[in-house]
Copies of this chain bind each other. A is one copy, B any other.
Amino acid sequence: MPDAAAPDTPTLSVSTAPVVPTAGVTAVLRPLPSGAELTGGFWADRIAANGTAIPLGRARLDEAGNIENLRIAGGAAEGEALGPVFADSDVYKWLEALAWEYGRTGDPALLTQLDEVTAIVAAAQRPDGYLNSVVELRRRPRYDGLGWSHELYCAGHLMQAAVAAARATGRRELLGVAERLAAHLAGTFGPGGRPEVDGHPVVEMALVELYRLTGTRRHLDLAAYFVTARGHGHATPGDADPTYFSDRVPVRDADDVEGHAVRAVYLGAGATDVAVETGDEELLAAVRRQFAAMVRRKQYVTGGVGSRWEGEAFGDPYELPTDRAYAETCAAIGLVQWAWRLLLATGDPAYADQVEHTLYNAVLPGVSLAGTEYFYANPLQLRTGARADDNRSPAHGRRGWYDCACCPPNVMRTLASLPSQLATTTADGLQVQLYAPAVLRADVGGELAVELATAYPWDGRVEVTVHAAPPRDVEVALRVPAWAQGATLDGRAVPAGDYARVRRTFAVGDRLVLELPTPARLLVADDRVDSVRGCVAIARGPLVYAAEQPDQADGAAVDDLRVDPLAPIIATHRPGLLGGVTVLETRGGVVRRRDGRTPYRRYARPHPPVEPVDLTLVPYYAWANRGPRPMRVWLPTM
């Protein structure tokens, strides 16, 4: 926490992280008390770009009317509500980003903005604690049609912003608003009150975090109620199908994820929080089962989820089209939130692998290298001739904002708080989860501080130097991703998909060297994934690669490329390309064809000829920074 905020605000939390399990619960891992300090490298660049976007976010929220809605509701202006019913939530997500960014940079201009908009929000709150500018301005009855009204969804985002403000800046005004609203909700919903649940989860994890920060038990109780009530039709409006709302099967009984993807993963995250705080092993087992089912049959190779445009939904098992992948940026963010909570709850490094993989390959593609434009949908293929017939269409390229602007401020808060996910701690150890140049400080009954030096993700070498350690055995654990076969720690082989652990009495200046081999890897998919049958995807280290049109040799359309699985793949770092990326080059083929009268022909007829060609691939996250040009993650083999 920066000193600037310290004098007049007591520390309310032991951590500046978004997720801080209560002391004494069974969570296996905990966030570092003071987060982590990035000192450079890949993520520092991305987070710095995000920092330039946050002030622009304010301008967008002003232009789109979101902040004006709150001003009008607070009596400071006059007019009609603009935008969707959940317009307030975008303000709250942006406030959350502002708070984490202030926590990282200490920039006083951010604090000024936080205070100003907090005052606007506070003024819009009703004396009884109710708060929702759009419902008020449109004179809708409160909580009427909660399946679509998003009132608790907005409330949840407010609470998350308030927690961030308290933890990262020490400011408590927004926390006061959130607590009054939470008290209002506690007096309105749950046993003895209204039975409904918001159609869009998020309030569950928000209430748990508010409880974690304040210790007010009824926040946790209400979160537990909302998790338990779901699956009984309380979230589904009218005679709609409950699948969309994750309301068909109770969370405790569900074996899979289904319906609207963002709703489903936010619910999974909130249920995980409830399970951890209430010690509910059955509920924890249920959400682990659902997460595993998602990973097994419904996740893209990029980590993205929610394959259907129709209903922004999970599809049937193996329904993972590349061209029409929806893979909403917000769904990837929610997946990371869920995986992170499961990691803290269980200590299973497979969840950390999910956090890393999804951040690099499903969240980061959602934002431009400049940090200021966003994809809503993240396809794994853009065809030649793809038409942009929807404002979310990737054929438009990334856009600065959307009418339904859930994704941009969600990216902002995710990147601003990302340093909190670099490492975790236990009573006597430090676990490095993500690799980046950074200083990490844990309290293991005395400070255990290490510095990481690495060119990750371009290079798999990570040097860990001990800056401080208590005079007794403690453990430093370094995550070895499942892809890192042949990894070594100080020259000793360590298994992939687990932590490489060193337990000893460290001395200042001690060094550990982790080597994660990063040869390019060819991946194939289960043949039930129709869209990529006969194809390979290429990954290197934590990154999934893509063939993008601007990098291909003359005349070789991305649609027509072929990979030779036996050809060597050369990795070359190009500092001047796309902010500095390692490209992959290989010898493959290009189909030379003439279109027939139909796409179908007799089996016996020869396939069109394939001519040799050089292929160049770039990291998927960096695509569409040279215009929305044809791109493919999966390429057919020769």
Interface residues of A (CB under 8 A from B): 241, 243-244, 258-259, 292, 295-297, 299, 301, 308-311, 313, 315-324, 381, 383-387, 389-390, 521-537, 559, 565, 591, 595-604, 607, 636
Contacts and interface: CB of A to CB of B under 8 A. Distances in A.
A383 B598 contact: no
A308 B296 contact: no
Contacts of A259: 389
Contact of A296 (B385, B534, B596): B596
Given A296-B596, A324-B308, A258 B387 contact: yes
Contacts of A600: 301, 523-526, 537
Contacts of A602: 521-524
A591 to B, nearest CB: 7
A259 to B, nearest CB: 7
A319 B323 contact: yes
A316 B309 contact: no
A16 to B, nearest CB: 33
Nearest to A591: B527
Given A309-B308, A383-B317, A599-B296, A241 B390 contact: yes
Contacts of A534: 527, 533-534
Chain A binding surface, main DSSP class: loop
Nearest to A532: B530
Nearest to A603: B522
Contacts of A522: 602-604
Given A243-B389, A296-B598, A523-B603, 13 more contacts: A241-B390, A259-B389, A295-B598, A296-B599, A297-B599, A308-B324, A316-B385, A319-B323, A320-B599, A521-B602, A533-B535, A533-B636, A537-B600
B389 A244 contact: yes
A560 to B, nearest CB: 8
A237 B521 CA distance: 49
B316 A559 contact: no
A259 B389 CA distance: 8
A131 to B, nearest CB: 31
Contact of A528 (B308, B537, B559): B559
23 contacts: A259-B389, A296-B599, A297-B599, A299-B599, A301-B600, A309-B309, A309-B310, A310-B390, A315-B323, A316-B387, A317-B383, A321-B324, A381-B530, A523-B600, A523-B602, A524-B602, A524-B603, A526-B595, A527-B636, A529-B599, A531-B531, A533-B533, A533-B535
A531 B317 CA distance: 15
Contact of A319 (B296, B383, B530): B383
Contacts of A529: 599
A634 B534 CA distance: 14
A594 to B, nearest CB: 11
Residue of A292, A383, A607 ringed by the most chain B CB atoms within 10 A: A383
**Most chain B C-beta atoms within 10 Å of own C-beta, residue among A258, A299, A316:** A316
A58 B144 CA distance: 38
A597 B531 contact: no
A112 to B, nearest CB: 36
Contact of A317 (B385, B389, B591): B385
B299 A598 contact: yes
A323, A529, A596, A600, most chain B CB atoms within 10 A: A600
A600 B529 CA distance: 10
A546 to B, nearest CB: 15
A313 B310 CA distance: 12
A259 B292 CA distance: 37
Contacts of A320: 599
B316 A526 contact: no
A108 B323 CA distance: 54
Given A243-B387, A309-B309, A389-B259, A321 B523 contact: no
Contact of A389 (B241, B521, B537, B599): B241
A534 B310 CA distance: 27
Nearest to A483: B602
Contact of A536 (B241, B315, B603): B603
A367 B132 CA distance: 49
A623 B241 CA distance: 26
Which are the 4 A-B pairs with shortest beta-carbon distances?
Answer: A522-B603, A526-B599, A243-B389, A309-B310
A532 B387 CA distance: 22
Contacts of A387: 243, 258, 316
A554 B513 CA distance: 55
A191 B251 CA distance: 61
Contacts of A299: 598-599
A401 B239 CA distance: 17
A445 to B, nearest CB: 36
A496 to B, nearest CB: 12
Contact of A597 (B295, B309, B384, B559): B295
A411 to B, nearest CB: 24
A396 B321 CA distance: 22
Contacts of A565: 603
Contacts of A386: 316
Contact of A530 (B313, B315, B322, B604): B322
Contacts of A244: 389
A135 B426 CA distance: 68
Contacts of A559: 528
A602 B520 CA distance: 11
B258 A389 contact: yes
A528 B319 contact: no
Contact of A315 (B324, B381, B607, B636): B324
B324 A599 contact: no
Contacts of A297: 595, 599
Nearest to A323: B319
A318 B533 contact: no
Given A316-B386, A389-B243, A321 B530 contact: yes
Contacts of A531: 321, 530-531
Nearest to A309: B310
